[in-house]
Amino acid sequence: MLQLLWADVDGLDMEMEKLPPLSAYRREKINKLKLTRAKKCSAGVELLLIHALRRQGKAKNLPLHIESADGGKPYLHGEELHFNQSHSAHFAACAISDAPFGLDIQILSPCRESVLRRFFAPEERAEILNSEDKDGVFTRLWCRKESYIKMTGRGLRTDLSALDFSGDTPQAVYDGREYRFCETRFFDLFFCVCLPSEAAPAVLSPEKIECSDLSDV
């Protein structure tokens, strides 16, 4: 089971008294941010989480109790349900699942040679440079890398150039378990989820939520 929600948070009202109560984990993150857009994205991912949980009859009492594991991966205290979140530009996304996973979204980004040399495996560089859509393939592969390291919880301690996720249906192995990438593209916005192969859906179906529905969760 995977539920993936996303929103364009540009229209989100950041007057905190008008928002549902946010977790201490989230408030601390928001307080460290300077840009309004970044604050909206940070609030938006938790509001999407609340929205997803309430569809399952959870999160009746707010704020949520969110903690972070070693490496920074957040989790819901006392819940077996897994969640992960991501944002890019003015878009925010959050997903929940009964299996561990990683989520990343990326707005279409230009392919840069310096980034290719530093963070991409030789096979990935070849796939990008041989493509007629270099920016699209670059963004898709970067999205895969981010979703994988968010699934493992190791973050940027991982050597990204050692990960080869080239090809149409790449897989990865972590701690003896096989994972698969599920992905889709909505115009210039890329979505990627890294899930255990047995839990991966055949089709990734992100659902857009309007800002007005987020403010009224």
Second-level CATH architecture of 2-214:
Alpha-Beta Complex (3.90)
Phi, psi at 165, each rounded to 5°: -115, 30
State the Cα–Cα distance between residues 162 and 175, nearest whole angstrom.
16
Decide which of 214 and 178 is more confident: 178
Contact yes or no for 190/135 (Cβ under 8 A): no
Per-residue pLDDT tens digits for 67-95 = 998 778 899 998 899 999 999 999 999 99
Per-residue pLDDT tens digits for 130-149 = 999 999 999 999 999 999 99
Q: Is 217 a residue whose pLDDT tops 80?
A: no
Tokens of 197: 């192969």
Angle between helices 24-32 and 36-55 in degrees, nearest 10? 160
What residue spans define the domains of the chain? Answer: 2-214
Contact yes or no for 202/195 (Cβ under 8 A): no
Q: Is 117 a residue whose pLDDT tops 70?
A: yes
Positive or negative, the CA dihedral 197, 202, 204, 207 is negative
Beta bridge partners of 6: 93, 208
Confidence band for 167, pLDDT divided at 50, 70 and 90? very high
- H or E element, residue 189: strand 189-196
State the Cα–Cα distance between residues 111 and 140, nearest whole angstrom.
11
Per-residue pLDDT tens digits for 51-70 = 999 999 998 889 999 999 87
